[in-house]
Chain A
Amino acid sequence: MNGLKLVGKSVLRKDGPDKTTGKARYTVDVDLPGMLVCGIKRSPHPHARILRIDTSKAQKLPGVKAVITGIDTKGIKHGFVETPRYLPDQSILAYDVVKHVGEEIAAVAAINHEVLAQALKMIDIEYEILPAVFDVEDAMNPDCQVHIHPNHPRVKENYCNIAGKTQTQWGDIDAGFKEADLIHSDRFESHLRTHGYMEPQTAVADYRGDGTLHMWISSMGHFNKRKKLARTLKMPDASIRIHKAYVGGAFGGKIDLFSHEYCVAALSIKTGRPVKYVASREEIFIAYRHGQPLISEIKTGVKKDGTIVAQQLRMINNAGAYKGSGVVIIFLAWGFTMIPYRVENFKYEGYSIFTNNPTRAPLRGHGAPQVRFAIESHMDIIAEKLQLDPIEFRLKNARVPHEELPNKDNVHNCGLIECIKEAAFKTDYTNRRNLRPKTDRLDDSNPIKQGIGLGVSAYFGGSLIYPNGSSAIVKMTDEGSVDLLTGAIELGQGSETVLCQIVGEELQLEMDDIRIISSDTATTPPDIGAWISGMTYVTGNAVREAAAGVRKKILQVAAEQLNEKTENLKLANKSVWVADNPEKRVTYQDIFQASITRQKGDTIIADGHWRTMRDEPFHPSLASTKGRWTENYAFSVQVAEIAVDTETGEIKLLKATTVHDCGFPINPQLVQGQIDGQVSLALGHAFMEDVMMKKGYTLNPSWLDYRMPLIHNVADSKGVDVITENYQTGHSFRTKEVGEGLVSAILAAIANAIYDATGLRLYSTPFSPEKVLKGLKQLKKNRGLL
């Protein structure tokens, strides 16, 4: 791209050689001398009172070094959300009542796995089984006899087990519906899926004699993790050092404090030895946090010309046994609803409901796939009823550049309209839809039906969650290369590569001239973390600012050395030269030497800081949605081309086309990698993956039975970057998120493509063969074909 050296180019991953040769070190690879292994005793019951815990036998077993139970952690509460409205509600270890299968009750540190397994078996617990509830609508029923927690004190509705509620409205919803020519309602349901990160949940703690706790955690943001550890362990933040390790995937599942992280720390403090915990894959399936099933009820009023005049939504989330991110997803579901289309009169209610299932976590997209599946299916249904072209219908209501959203955020250079047009054009969408009468689709002899469908999505990037912003330090070395210190965590997205590209661009360095020291809470500045889809934007701008500071110092020293004005100087090849006299130059190495010898010993170092919405103190209210959310919205349109085998019910995603407004792609190859990964996650969501639970127990706790996409399921994936921003050296830049939003529209597109192929409208995920066959059979019956 014009005049840019590294940014905007598919620079190869900086961590590629380490990761392809086995040199990359993950938390599971950390071994320390004298290290003990930790195991967790978990509840086998979905709801039970603990009458007695006897750890005496386990404690006497030779090789057992420490056992902790709820008595040791009594009174310590933590939660995904910790606000005055949503107080922390999880215990580290259960003390009186367990509320889901797999809940942590005791933790053991032992010299090896054999002793550990024996010790865990020897912990004797007596339970009184309590009645439990699992279905979300049973749980919220006013007659429900199971009360997992008291109702949220500020939600005064006649429901049970309310963990939280989000509500908001604007315009006049009743007047809006009165204006409508068509009012249509639908209900959609999504199912339970899990992250499937390859590296298990794991943590290592090493409490040393000087009172510092050293930890390695498979995490998504060390500074947030450290804050929660410090609070629960009652230690100063500065006494806890979380070290860098690569992270073997997370997808939302490794945010927040987990009981095992506290336990290894507490056990290390107690024993004075390093302690390591690695969850088994079965434990991850049974006890850890999965994604969130959501029920979406939508009612929309539309005029004949396609203008949406009113929309009312009611979302219900099955939160599991503790609030987890369940009270966040009902806020986000509002957000994912309101971004792409203009709705003048709007009402939203989202309920998060406790059940005796494991607590829930964000899962890549955190509600957007569920919400967009519902809304984009609903949009196609309405378009057909009004005999509107689905593209025109969407274009009519789509947000335009610089539009203000109802929450006062601005969409800035929103590229949604361009994305819709480009997606339709690139896939020849309109011509390829099955325009023949729908009854024709099922009665010809070919059992394979092809279809095409489209969906729209939008996603926020980089909102305010502790530590709210990122900082970075760039310092020059004696050789004129630089070190970048950043708290950013590399979990596969390519953070280390893009951040080095930015430094290289600002200082005109090669990738090899930049050494990155990352995600170490003792040596790197705070970082927002890789979990609100804003790292390239937030940390990227902090890094850019730090590099710009170094650039300024380089130019100052060079100007003195060359006796020139800084504005006459240029940077290239690790040297500074005079614009009209390239012979007159000084190398970075000499500049550095000059700086430390002549400038009173000043080294060349600079810091940079970035936070979205500097004028905004907090994240918006989860309850009322009031307050600004972000300054950085990304938009996407995805088209699915599928084949349905009407004899087996199996569906194959043949091709996914992703057209997205990514702002400015710092590294197009990494962007495409994000697109491909999300298409794959979505096709797993659509066709294969399903955490099957019965009475709180996971029935398929392995990758043999929980089927994630294999290489045989790979879909042809094409990405088109709609570039609405640019990058200029010395100026802040805007990249929009590419890591989460693109699992969403494609799911909706698949649902719409199934309808296009067969006439079958599916209102719930997954689109399993059983469901497809059942639906097709009913459809044929209705049409007199059976």
Chain B
Amino acid sequence: MKQAIELIINGETYDLIVTPNVTLQEAIREHLGLKGTKAGCEMGTCGACTVLLGDKPILSCITLAVECQGLEITTIEGLSEGPTLSNMQKAFVRAGAVQCGFCTPGVILSSTALLKKNPQPNVNEIKKALEGNLCRCTGYNSIIEAVLDAADPSGHLDHQQDQEIKL
């Protein structure tokens, strides 16, 4: 039985008609064409599909779209404004915390949620917040650097090339 639902994604309201088994990830990627949200395993094990429900990171591949009726969702596309990247996005570029980039949207959203809740996290708190996000390329070292830098840009990362970090 198909259902009509309303999803509020990155501040915009979308009307969808979906069967109840459609996941939020499928709704976002396939129905709405927002491809920034990634699907790495579709069984809730890798974190690539992470989106924010309110301020909370959730796994969109194991969340049903119909459960998100009327709720506010942020995807990776919702963090930048025009050519301007969010501080967290900039920090990931600066720290070299991006390689293949497939896990990056999910990791950045989990990190963004962490700083909203805890603006000055220590390394252990960062690890706790990102424990559900697999990254195969970076070994996580630069990801930790990026989150620390986003929280406190006066740290040791080089900010000389900052004006070049834009779309």
Q: Could you tell me if A21 and B35 are in contact, using CB atoms closer than 8 angstroms?
A: no
B164 touches A198 (CB 8 A): no
| CB–CB A20/B108 < 8 A | yes
A25 touches B85 (CB 8 A): no
- How does the 8 Å CB contact mask read for A502-544 relative to B, with 1 for contact and 0 for none? 0000000001100000000000000000000000000000000
Which residues of A sit under 8 angstroms from B42, Cβ to Cβ?
280-281
The 8 A CB mask of B77-96 against A (1 = contact, 0 = none) is: 10110000100011011101
Neighbour of B138 across the interface among A11, A197, A199, A673, CB < 8 A: A673
Q: How far is the CA of A709 from the CA of B143 in the complex (A)?
A: 14
Q: Is A22 an interface residue (CB 8 A)?
A: yes
A672 at the interface (CB under 8 A from B): yes
Query: B72 CB to closest chain A CB, in angstroms?
Result: 18
Inter-subunit contact B101/A17 (CB<8 Å):
no
User: B57 at the A/B interface (Cβ < 8 Å)?
Assistant: no
Contact in complex: A247, B96 (CB < 8 Å): no
- Across the interface, do A21 and B102 meet the contact criterion of CB distance under 8 Å? no
On whether the beta carbons of B39 and A711 are closer than 8 Å, the reply is: no
Q: What's the minimum C-beta distance from B131 to chain A, rounded to whole angstroms?
A: 6
Which residue of chain B has the shortest Cβ distance to A715 in the bound complex? B139
- Say yes or no: A251 contacts B165, CB within 8 Å: no
Q: Say whether, besides A198-B134, A673-B99, A512 and B164 are in contact (CB < 8 Å).
A: yes
Interface 9-mer from A337-345, A370-378, A489-497:
A489-497
B141 near A16 with CB under 8 A, answer no
* CA distance in complex: A511, B36 (Å): 25
Q: Which of B77, B89, B96, B139 interacts with A709 by CB under 8 Å?
A: B139
Q: Which residues of B contact A273 (CB under 8 A)?
A: none
In this assembly, does A304 line the interface, its C-beta being within 8 Å of a C-beta of chain B? no
In chain A, positions 1-37 with a C-beta closer than 8 Å to chain B are: 10-13, 15-26, 28-29, 31
Task: Say if the beta carbon of B161 comes within 8 Å of chain A.
Answer: yes
Which of A22, A200, A677, A702 contacts B37 (CB under 8 A)?
Answer: A22
Q: Is the CB of A708 within 8 A of B167?
A: no
A529 to B93, CA, bound (A): 25
Q: Are B98 and A15 in contact (CB under 8 A)?
A: yes
Name B167's closest neighbour in chain A (CB-CB).
Answer: A17
User: In the complex the two chains form, is A511's CB within 8 Å of B164's CB?
Assistant: yes
Is A711 within 8 A of B127, CB to CB? yes
Interface residues of B in 100-125 (CB under 8 A from A): 100-105, 108
Contacts of B136 in A (CB 8 A): 195-198, 249, 251, 677, 680-681, 708
Can you list, as one digit per residue, whether each of A541-554 has a CB less than 8 Å from chain B (1) or not (0)?
00000000000000
> Any chain B CB within 8 A of the CB of A248?
yes
Contact status B101-A248, CB under 8 Å: yes
A703 at the interface (CB under 8 A from B): yes
With A249-B137, A676-B139 as given contacts, are A711 and B43 in contact (CB-CB < 8 Å)? no
Interface size class of chain A, counting residues whose CB lies under 8 Å from the partner chain: 35 or more
Instruction: Give the distance to chain B from A291, nearest Cβ to Cβ, in Å.
Output: 14
**A22 in contact with B77 given A673-B96, A673-B99 (CB within 8 Å):** yes
Could you say which of A20, A511, A670 contacts B93, with CB atoms under 8 Å apart?
A20
Q: Is the CB of A672 within 8 A of B96?
A: yes
Write the nearest CB–CB distance from B80 to chain A, whole angstroms: 5
For the complex, give the distance between the alpha carbons of A176 and B136 in Å: 44
- In the complex, the answer to whether B141 meets A20 with C-beta atoms within 8 Å is no
- Do B165 and A281 touch (CB < 8 A)? no
A22 CA / B9 CA spacing, docked (Å) = 14
* Interface assignment of A786: CB less than 8 Å from any CB of chain B: no
Q: How far is the CA of A23 from the CA of B76 in the complex (A)?
A: 9
Interface centre among A197, A672, A710 (most CB of B within 10 A): A710
In the bound complex, how far is the Cα of B130 from the Cα of A246, in angstroms? Answer: 24
| A714 close to chain B: CB less than 8 A | yes
- A24-B102 Cα distance, complex, nearest whole Å: 9
Asked whether, in the complex, the Cβ of B41 is within 8 Å of the Cβ of A281, the reply is yes
Central interface residue in B79, B102, B164, by most chain A CB within 10 Å: B102
- Pairwise interchain contact A673-B137, C-beta atoms closer than 8 A: yes
* Closest residue on chain B to residue A713 by CB atoms: B140
List A contacts of B161 (CB < 8 A): 11-12
Q: Are B138 and A677 in contact (CB under 8 A)?
A: yes
- In the bound complex, residues from chain B placing their C-beta under 8 Å from that of A672 are 96, 142
Q: List 10 A-B contacts (CB under 8 A).
A: A22-B105, A23-B167, A29-B29, A198-B102, A280-B42, A282-B43, A676-B139, A676-B140, A704-B45, A711-B127
Residues of A at the B interface (CB closer than 8 Å) are: 10-13, 15-26, 28-29, 31, 195-200, 246-249, 251, 280-282, 491-494, 511-512, 669-670, 672-673, 676-681, 702-704, 708-717
